[in-house]
Structure 1
Amino acid sequence: MEETPIEKLQRILREKATDPRAPMQVAERRELMEKMSFKVKDDITVETVQAAGLEAEWLRAPGAQKDRAILYFHGGGYVIGSPNTHRALGGEISRTSQASVLMPDYRLAPEAPFPAAVEDGVSGYRWLLDQGFTPAQIAIGGDSAGGGLVVATLVSARDQGLAMPRAAVCISPWSDMTCSNESYRTRDAADPMVKHAGITQMAALYLNGADPKDPLASPNFADLTGLPPVLIHVGSDETLHDDAIALDRKAKADGVQSTLEVWDKMVHVWHAFHPILPEGKEGIERVGEFLCQQWAA
């Protein structure tokens, strides 16, 4: 029987996987992720800028509206990843949302541990405001660690007295640094990408001794009152499944308009595999639909 696209992707990911129990070689992991990146589509405009002292990229698809901006945080466990590794994904989000995507190269651990990424996230948001965007013209999105960083940035920005953006999107968010939810164990075998042993190493590098329940490290423990409407995507087979479930539950308990969508059999951040996975394209289209609805409301 012929493999489905998701079955083929899962097999390939398992074949390429390294032993998650081995000590993390940060430089090698960064290099590997850079090599595995998809190429951005030719019609996406890429503009390098300095945003609040950070290297960043504006990604604009044809038709992107100049008065809509998405501040997007790439994934990679706060240790690996860059605008280069997520440029293709950001470009397609620009296309479906009809907005310009700003992707900052925020500081990574272990060189810059917690709370450096959160500080950079808020700085990126302030920079957009300084460029003349109103909060209502801005959305914040991210995947994996970037998905957790979305919520941490919003909490920190709110606590600093900044007005909230129009909407937020969290794709496969890592939002609990305790790494203790049930799915870390029950879905460890099913998830070909995120393993409990490996993600706990990343958590230790990022936290650098900080409390894993700090609300800006693990926003599942934060007061989310006043945050904007949020779309949360997670795959049913993900190790981070329960992080997303808990984030949605906490958001709703704090009065936030949260939309949780659990996609059947999908891998971690399946949207990033859109060149080879139909569901990846569908996930990006859903993100764009959600954001356009929020901007039109």
Structure 2
Amino acid sequence: MAHSEIDAIRALLGSKPRPVGWSERRQRINEVGSTWPVASDVTCEAVDCDGVAGEWSIVPGSEPSRVLLYFHGGGYCSGSIVSHRRLVTEAGRAAGTRTLAIDYRLAPEHPYPAAHEDALTAWHFLRRQGIAAKSIAVGGDSAGGNLTLGLISRLRAAGEPLPACTWLVSPWTDLTMSGSTLATKDAVDPLIHKAYLDELADAYAPPSIGRRDPLISPLFADLKAFPPILIQVGSAETLLADAARLAEAAGAADVDVTLQIWPHMIHAWPVWNAGLQDGRRALAYAGQFIQAHLR
């Protein structure tokens, strides 16, 4: 069953080649990500987070005083609330929380540090709503995982309270592209390849900033005193080494870290949870992790 389901997702992703232009790519990821709509019992509401677009979601029985703050993936150049709505809303269901998804500014129109500024604005917006830091989980996939780690680094540097926990799916942690699986998993990954990552990094990170900068590549950050981290990554993705090395670095810094490597899964597979049992299982585990730490 798992193989047939992931093969169907691979077929969906391969049904059209990746477009060339940024606007066309953004439209494509919105189309693919929203293949399955949100469940009928989900309530979504647009919100202005002090100038940054966001969306609240809640399902019956969720605790509104607890929040999952989520940053979508897309290489900092695409992705949106629309493309990740099914993922975010079902993650909120699993965690028993409200969710706040953020449409941060995208490169190349808005290169670094625009997304970081928007993430920090969204965090402060949440805090001003009276939500305690210990009642907030922060998560993201791919570049959104990178952005999540950057937000925590900024909060720690400012001496601000940190979120209760961190959930990362297929995180892109190394924009120097030194991970060994960029080569060893290239043939089995249907989405992410080094040439594409190089293009994204060029669009996002100005040449004046070294890509080993911890806010560009959080793999090289000092992770000491970070909150508990759950990392979920597929065995069939080129960013496997980004996730595994981050887990090693976090563990070496005495951070409570859990690394899950899901057999046969591809990049950000929980996006397609409606048609993928392993996507639903990954969200269920993440929900348990978040609930445990928000309590």
Corresponding position of 2:23 = 27
- Partners in 2 of 1:2 and 1:248 — Cα distance? 26
Aligned to 1:274, what secondary structure does the other structure show? helix
Corresponding position of 2:147 = 149
- Partners in 1 of 2:2 and 2:198 — Cα distance? 36
Aligned pairs (5 A) from 1:1-297: 4-18=4-18, 24-36=20-32, 37=34, 38-209=36-207, 210-296=209-295
Answer yes or no: is the 8 Å Cα contact 1:226–1:256 preserved in 2. Answer: yes
- Partners in 1 of 2:268 and 2:89 — Cα distance? 15
- Kindly provide the amino acid, as one letter, of the partner of residue 25 in structure 1: G
Answer yes or no: is the 8 Å Cα contact 2:38–2:86 preserved in 1. Answer: yes
- Partners in 2 of 1:270 and 1:2 — Cα distance? 12
Question: How far is the alpha carbon of 1:9 from its aligned partner?
Answer: 2.1
Question: How far is the alpha carbon of 1:226 from its aligned partner?
Answer: 1.2
- Kindly provide the amino acid, as one letter, of the partner of residue 5 in structure 1: E
Aligned to 2:219, what secondary structure does the other structure show? helix
Answer yes or no: is the 8 Å Cα contact 2:2–2:276 preserved in 1. Answer: no
- Partners in 1 of 2:117 and 2:224 — Cα distance? 20
- Partners in 2 of 1:35 and 1:273 — Cα distance? 12
Answer yes or no: is the 8 Å Cα contact 1:59–1:87 preserved in 2. Answer: no
Aligned to 2:79, what secondary structure does the other structure show? coil
- Partners in 2 of 1:158 and 1:243 — Cα distance? 22
Question: How far is the alpha carbon of 1:293 from its aligned partner?
Answer: 1.2
- Partners in 1 of 2:218 and 2:263 — Cα distance? 25
Percent identity of paired positions between Structure 1 and Structure 2: 39
TM-score computed with the length of structure 2 as normaliser: 0.95
Question: How far is the alpha carbon of 1:31 from its aligned partner?
Answer: 1.2
- Partners in 2 of 1:3 and 1:150 — Cα distance? 31
Q: Which runs of 5+ in 2 are unaligned?
A: none
- Kindly provide the amino acid, as one letter, of the partner of residue 246 in structure 2: L
Task: Please say which of residues 205-214 and 227-236 is displaced more in the overlay.
Answer: 205-214
Residues 259, 3 of structure 1: alpha-carbon distance in 2 compared, 3 angstrom cutoff: closer
Answer yes or no: is the 8 Å Cα contact 1:17–1:193 preserved in 2. Answer: no
The one-character-per-residue Cα deviations of 1:248-280 (angstroms, maximum 9, x if unpaired) are 111111121110000001011110111111111
Question: How far is the alpha carbon of 1:294 from its aligned partner?
Answer: 1.2
Question: How far is the alpha carbon of 1:3 from its aligned partner?
Answer: 6.0
Q: CA RMSD in A?
A: 1.6
Q: Which runs of 5+ in 1 are unaligned?
A: none
Answer yes or no: is the 8 Å Cα contact 2:174–2:217 preserved in 1. Answer: yes
